[in-house]
Amino acid sequence: MITIANEWLQATISPIGAELRSLKRQHDNHEYLWNANPRYWAKTSPVLFPIVGALKDDTYYYRGRAYRLPRHGFAREKSFDGKLLSPTEAVFTLTDSEETRTVYPFAFQLMLRYRLDGHALTCRYEVHNPSDSQPLFFSIGGHPAFSALAENGGPAYTDYFLEFPDDDALLCHKLEGNLISERKETILLDKRHRLPLRYELFYADALVLKTLQSNTITLGNVINDRGILFHHDGFPYFGIWAAKGADFVCLEPWCGIADHIGHNQQLEEKEGMQHLSGGDNWSRSWAVTCF
- Closest Cα partner for 21 from 114, 84, 111, 120? 114
- Tell me the per-residue pLDDT of 203-213, one tens digit each, with 9 for 90 and over: 999 999 999 99
Q: For a pLDDT cut of 90, what percent of the chain falls above it? A: 97
**Half-sphere exposure of 18 toward its Cβ, with a 13 Å CA cutoff?**
27
Q: Is the pLDDT of residue 62 over 90?
A: yes
Q: Indicate if the pLDDT at residue 82 is higher than 80.
A: yes
The percentage of the chain sitting over the pLDDT mark of 70, rounded to a whole number, equals 99
Tell me the average pLDDT across 257-267: 98
* pLDDT of amino acid 153: 66
User: What is d(CA 260, CA 164) in angstroms, rounded to the nearest whole number?
Assistant: 26
Q: What is the CATH number of domain 2-290?
A: 2.70.98.10
Q: Check if the beta carbon of residue 209 is closer than 8 Å to that of residue 172.
A: yes
pLDDT at residue 150, as a whole number: 74
What's 246's DSSP letter? -
Mean per-residue pLDDT for 230-259? 98
Contact 2, 87 (CB under 8 A): no
How do 145-147 and 248-255 pair as beta strands?
A: antiparallel
Q: Angle at CA 17, nearest 5°, toward 13 and 22?
A: 25
Question: Where in the chain are the domains?
Answer: 2-290
Instruction: Name the residue among 66, 47, 16 with its Cα closest to residue 127.
Output: 47
Quick check: pTM over 0.85? yes
Mean pLDDT of 70-93: 98
**Under a CB-based contact definition with an 8 Å cutoff, are residues 63 and 137 in contact?**
no
Taken in order 123, 55, 100, 242, the sign of the CA dihedral is positive
CA 226/CA 214 separation, integer angstroms:
21
Sequence-distant (≥ 6) Cβ neighbours of residue 47 within 8 angstroms: 17, 18, 19, 75, 76, 110, 112, 125, 140, 141, 142, 143
Per-residue model confidence (pLDDT) at position 152: 66
Distance CA(289)–CA(220), nearest Å, equals 12
pLDDT of residue 154: 73
Query: What's the whole-number mean pLDDT along residues 79-104?
Result: 98
pLDDT, one tens digit per residue, over 42-60 is 999 999 999 999 999 999 9
For the segment 96-154, what is each residue's pLDDT rounded down to a tens digit? Answer: 999 999 999 999 999 999 999 999 999 999 999 999 999 999 999 999 999 998 776 67
Residues in Cβ contact with 18 at an 8 Å cutoff, skipping those fewer than 6 apart: 47, 75, 80, 82, 92, 94, 112
Tell me the average pLDDT across 69-79: 98
One-letter identity of residue 112: L
